[in-house]
Amino acid sequence: MAMQQKYDPHSIEREAQQYWDASGAFRAREAPGKPKYYCLSMFPYPSGKLHMGHVRNYTIGDVLTRYHRMNGRNVLQPMGWDAFGLPAENAAIANGVPPARWTYENIAYMKGQLKSLGFAIDWSRELATCQPAYYRWNQWLFLKMLEKGLVYKKTGVVNWDPVDRTVLANEQVIDGRGWRTGAVIEKREIPMYYMAITRYAEELLAALDTLPGWPERVKTMQANWIGKSYGVRFAFPYELDGRQERLRVFTTRADTIMGVTFAALAAEHPLAAFAARGNPKLAAFIEECKRGSVMEADLATIEKKGMPTGLSVTHPLTGQPVPVWVGNYVLMAYGEGAVMGVPAHDERDFHFAKQYGLPIPQVIDARGAGDGAFTTDRWQPWYESKDGVCIHSGKYDGLRYNEAVDAIAADLNAKGLGDKQVLWRLRDWGISRQRYWGCPIPIIHCGGCGDVPVPDADLPVVLPEDCVPDGTGNPLAKRPDFVNTTCPKCGKPAQRETDTMDTFVDSSWYYIRFACPDNARAMADERVAYWLPVDQYIGGIEHAILHLLYSRFWTKVMRDLGLVKLDEPFSDLLTQGMVLNDIYFRKADTGRVTYYNPAEVETRAEGGAILKADGQPVEAGGIGTMSKSKNNGVDPQELIDRYGADIARFFMMFTSPPEDTLVWSDAGVEGAARFLRRLWNYAVRFERGGNPPQPSAALQLRKATRFEIHSVLKQANYDLGRHQLNTVASAAMKILNALDRLLEADNEVEKEGLKILLRLLAPITPHISHYLWRELKFGEDVLAAPWPEHDPAALIADEIELVVQVNGRKRGDVRVPRDADSKAIETIVLADPAVQRHVSGQAIKKVVVVPGRLVNVVV
């Protein structure tokens, strides 16, 4: 077969993909003894079609997969679908289509898209989390955890839409109102199941040190999230109806305890509820605190308000009465749901005290940590410094932070009122969701027996797939065929739990299941030991905390249940930067918000933007992550249809480093297309026997070309090692440029260079590399070729160029022999006319010689 003269991406891509399919090229098999490489990209939510973030994510994963395969590793790159979730229910509300059908149709379409991009995926391991064969193990492990006490039930706070009478996700609450109804949202307490992740807090924190392959920023974020703080937990005693009671608080600043002038309760605190009885004003205030969303970001930015309860407690050390307030900024979920108020040394307490006229006595002197004397007129940052000593604190006067905390904790302990304690910011994981499209929680509620686990033999509890949610209430609760059952214990009629699990449960162990997706009898088997841990995990930085933390937790739970022998699931982590795009929306009078895709919007020269469909203005919402909810995704299909997979992949890799945020623009994709066409044309000329001979200067040009190719290759291999793939793409361009300049029919250098180039490109543009490698008879399959390494001999030059600086400014360059010593270099440099001109008679203070790089003359 003759080589095509013109580069036609679509035909060669089809051919290459057929070859891979037919030969089962990406089918991964366990090969004990052979070093494995498990490369995993975060599986997609089947939202409808791929967006650019997916293409970026999966191209990075595919590049690394193919690179390691060419380096001799036994690779596994699986793919699946994070198939449960809210958008399927939203689609049902909008279009009346059952979430199951919508989801499966999306999966089919997106799978076709992934295949057209030529990813080296082992599709035989494909799974979807909405399949009973998968989620039965969610249920099974849930029940195992329940047995071990790692799952328990308690109340939790949710967003309640009083009009639709339904629980809303945080995302569905906009400015404190329901997204569909515009109704003001209320906080509601309902019973939920929790996973006791806090029992693993210490290990989750400590084990971060065993993950050198993780980005520092992710480990820092996780450590801060887990939030280990050392402090003192103590109680304010008080008397209520003749009983001795205690109000417990936690503080990291026990050294300031003598400055306490009030205590503040969260609105949900039981003592607040007690005080509100017979106090309508307080009851109203507590109700007010309960309006709005449950999001911490909202809570943290609201205006700080408070109201006295009329109650007071006793200071544990001074015995003085301390008034008790309710504060809307106190979090029930953190610590004890109550805090001590030290206005002089805590910024929030300071403003609170100013607002409500509470005393602000200074008890810490941190001279040197800030300027200005202590004044209650305005807050100064040094008030919060731990580098001070206690004052106005009686027996603690003069003590430093650590000494004061020790002494105060000891005194509290002696009174039986408190002691030092570790506090975690991490909270247990509430997994109950009042939604239809998720994994059913395998519990049966029986009037006589209480909450009864579904027996193993009855698993899975299968979710009916024909429901069409309408946005009101809980859809499963409306299904008598699902709800009504019999109690496994007593056999009497009983009701199934209608809550489903958080979708983070589904994604917390799919990477384990990929090792054994076909095992119907066990959650995990011995194949897990071969493939796990994941050698390279790749996904968006937005998952830096929750998904990764839950996955780490889940792995440790499975380990402790004897299911796997694995401490950490992901050895190396690459956090891909987000792909952003403009956001446009309209807000109706009802408060309901509609988002418009930037493709449907036209920006006007005079500012502002309009919707193309109706010519009316839309509001600009800045830029943000491409997402279904903001409707600002870009469909990569157009790019693939027009240019083919290789050009799309090359462009994606070339346009920015994997870890950087990328604001989407297709400017530059022409450059990628041009490059691959040039490569093709070069290969065609090569096959014909190279360029016409041009003997003059050939030897030197040949040497210079080899030098260029091998130094670029050396750099490219370094860049691959640090996952900087954009410069690897640049390197390929540089090699082609160097080869193109070699205008002589020197087949040896051309052939060497082209073989390097095609292998270097094989992970990024696998189709064209596959085709040309075979057509040029370099071998049968480029995937089987060894990875290219640079030839050190090509990099030895007789002379090296040094940059010459005078006072740190570049003033020229000199060529010196490769082995010249500092003394010789100095002599050459000082004789240089440009240097003499700039030195112009001034005294030379010193000469800095950086070997192989530069010389700096300081005058």
Partner RNA sequence: GCCGGGAUGGCGGAAUUGGUAGACGCACGGGACUCAAAAUCCCGCGGUGGCGACACCAUGAGAGUUCGAUUCUCUCUCCCGGCACCA
Interacting positions 57-116 with RNA (CB under 7 A): 82, 84-87
The answer to the question of residue 461 lying near RNA (CB under 7 A) is no
Tell me which of 14, 714, 751, 755 binds RNA, using CB under 7 A.
714
CB count in 10 Å sphere of residue 844: 13
By CB under 7 A, the residues from 207 to 226 that bind RNA are 216-217, 220-221, 224-225
CA angle (549, 135, 168) in 5-degree steps: 65
Choose between 86 and 443: whose C-beta lies nearer to RNA.
Answer: 86
The answer to the question of residue 677 lying near RNA (CB under 7 A) is yes
Tell me which of 296, 526, 600, 821 binds RNA, using CB under 7 A.
296
The answer to the question of residue 662 lying near RNA (CB under 7 A) is yes
Judge whether 662 and 656 are in contact, CB under 8 Å. Answer: yes
Choose the binding region for RNA from 95-103, 152-160, 265-273, 385-393 (rule: CB under 7 A). Answer: 152-160
The answer to the question of residue 355 lying near RNA (CB under 7 A) is no
Choose between 393 and 632: whose C-beta lies nearer to RNA.
Answer: 632
The answer to the question of residue 176 lying near RNA (CB under 7 A) is no
The answer to the question of residue 154 lying near RNA (CB under 7 A) is no
Q: Least distance from C-beta 557 to RNA, angstroms? A: 16
Q: Which residue has the tokens 């095609």?
A: 758
Q: What angle in degrees, to the nearest 10, is found between the helix axes of 747-761 and 766-775?
A: 150
Tell me which of 12, 168, 390, 399 binds RNA, using CB under 7 A.
168
Q: Least distance from C-beta 545 to RNA, angstroms? A: 5
CB count in 10 Å sphere of residue 672: 23
Contacts of 322 (CB under 8 A, 6+ apart): 236, 260, 261, 262, 263, 312, 313, 314, 315
The answer to the question of residue 691 lying near RNA (CB under 7 A) is no
Q: Report the C-alpha gap between 807 and 803 in whole angstroms.
A: 13
The answer to the question of residue 678 lying near RNA (CB under 7 A) is yes
Q: Please give the single-letter amino acid code of residue 230.
A: Y
The answer to the question of residue 231 lying near RNA (CB under 7 A) is no
By rule CB under 7 A, what string of x and - marks binding of each residue 813-852 to RNA? x--------------------x---x-------x-x-x--
Contacts of 835 (CB under 8 A, 6+ apart): 804, 806, 811, 812, 829, 857
Question: Quick one: how far is CA 846 from the chain centroid?
Answer: 50
Q: Is 58 helix (H, G, I), strand (E, B) or coil?
A: helix
By CB under 7 A, the residues from 585 to 624 that bind RNA are 622-624
Choose between 515 and 736: whose C-beta lies nearer to RNA.
Answer: 736
By CB under 7 A, the residues from 5 to 34 that bind RNA are none
Q: Least distance from C-beta 425 to RNA, angstroms? A: 5
Of 766, 737, 767, the C-alpha closest to 753 is 737
The answer to the question of residue 730 lying near RNA (CB under 7 A) is yes
Contacts of 678 (CB under 8 A, 6+ apart): 736, 740
The answer to the question of residue 657 lying near RNA (CB under 7 A) is yes
Of 511, 591, 579, the C-alpha closest to 547 is 511
Tell me which of 184, 332, 599, 854 binds RNA, using CB under 7 A.
854
Choose between 139 and 159: whose C-beta lies nearer to RNA.
Answer: 159
By CB under 7 A, the residues from 333 to 352 that bind RNA are 333-334
Choose between 355 and 737: whose C-beta lies nearer to RNA.
Answer: 737
Name the burial class of residue 562, with classes exposed (0-12), middle (13-18) and buried (19+) by CB atoms within 10 angstroms of its CB: exposed
Q: Report the C-alpha gap between 399 and 420 in whole angstroms.
A: 17
Choose between 205 and 662: whose C-beta lies nearer to RNA.
Answer: 662
| Phi, psi dihedral angles at 793 (to 5 degrees) | -60, -30
Tell me which of 328, 500, 765, 856 binds RNA, using CB under 7 A.
856
Q: Least distance from C-beta 724 to RNA, angstroms? A: 6
The answer to the question of residue 156 lying near RNA (CB under 7 A) is yes
The answer to the question of residue 667 lying near RNA (CB under 7 A) is yes
Report the chain's C-alpha Rg in angstroms.
Answer: 33
